[in-house]
Amino acid sequence: MRLLVTGGAGFIGFALVRHLVERGAGRVAVVDKLTYAANPAALAWFQRRPDVAFHQADIADPAAMAALFAAEAPDAVLHLAAESHVDRSIENPLAFLQTNVMGTAVLLDAALTHWRGLPAAARERFRFLDVSTDEVYGTLAPEEPAFHEATPFRPNSPYAASKAAADHMARAWARTYGLPVMVSHSSNNYGPWQFPEKLIPLMIQKALEGQPLPVYGDGRQVRDWLYVEDHAAALAAILERGTPGETYNVGGGNEVENLHLVGRLCAHLDRCQPRGDGRPHASAVTHVTDRPGHDRRYAIDDRRLRGEIGFVPPTDFETGLARTVEWYLANQDWLAGLKRERYGGERLGLARRA
């Protein structure tokens, strides 16, 4: 197949491209704007692969997207390009609307034009997978059942609202024009190569630097955690076996309070790289003012994915967390390089908390 992956230089996008290429899925064209969160290691990896073509472009640019579809003639699109950090969306919401809403609309329109021009058999095989987040569903009380595919959207941050709008665009292009669109909603991802403003790599980095470990509010916010390589495998399975017009939730089955998660990270670090002063890493946990509109709990019901697609995430949380800690400890040069390039070598601020 000829596949087009948007946002392929980002955390989840890079994991997906690696998964597709290493399993011989076909030629993969990657488009990425190369914002601050792009991974330089991903670009180097793309250059070494003859079955990967990289394009630097903005998905919100209609001319660029028209040219991209004409050049690559994809059989399927996996759309992951997005501004994704909640704190940044609070600081600059319009940037999220531009990329996540307008960018998705432009991409859908370019895909529609391309799809309409395909021969009948290729048109039947074509797929567009819109990769979204559980944050579109809003927040859950402790006793409420997990989000399912029919849960109403109730986004509470500019980021979540922009992704909800993008999902509505995807549905509209499917229902109005017949474009074979599928949508996925995943829980929080973690694993190697994640940009260090997100919770797990940020806590690891701050612990290694001997800084306070900032936890929002009381730290009792609950998230479901999904190993990024499992997410990539799930997306490939949805692309292969999913039904156009359907939505699939992708969860890890690991509901954990933020404070408890930080404690587990600290325990791993105590074993792998103890503090020089002999104190446990958890002694550096510091509670800071909560994020505005902070959702209390996310949980994913992924029975449709398991039943209809036959996909069950293979990585248990303790194994995935241990792998992740070990990877960041072994790749501190990568983290240091990102800090120099993105933050001028300064320590990551509290405002860059996941």
Task: State residue 29 phi and psi, 5-degree precision.
Answer: -95, 130
Which spans in 273-343 are helix H?
A: 303-304, 317-330, 332-343
pLDDT at site 197: 85
- C-alpha separations of 123 from 6, 71, 106, 115, 126 in Å: 20, 17, 20, 6, 5
pLDDT at site 346: 45
Tell me how crowded residue 279 is: count the other CB atoms within 10 A of its CB: 11
Dihedral sign, CA of 94, 96, 98, 101?
A: negative
Ordered strands of the 52-56 beta sheet? 52-56, 27-32, 2-6, 76-79, 127-133, 181-186, 247-250
Residue in 72, 83, 87, 159 annotated catalytic: 159
| Per-run averaged pLDDT (10 residues), the chain, 354 residues | 97 98 96 93 96 98 98 98 92 95 98 98 98 97 96 97 98 98 98 92 94 96 98 98 97 96 97 95 97 94 97 96 96 82 50 33
Residue in 58, 130, 135, 230 annotated catalytic: 135
* 134 belongs to the catalytic site: yes
Pairing state between β 255-257 and 222-227: antiparallel
Name the DSSP class of 290: P
Three-state SS at 152 = coil
User: In the structure encoding, which two tokens stand for residue 185, read together?
Assistant: 């909603």
d(CA 93, CA 83): 10
Domains along the sequence of the chain with CATH: 2-193+226-254+300-315 (3.40.50.720)
Residue in 134, 224, 255, 302 annotated catalytic: 134
Tell me, what amino acid is at 266? C
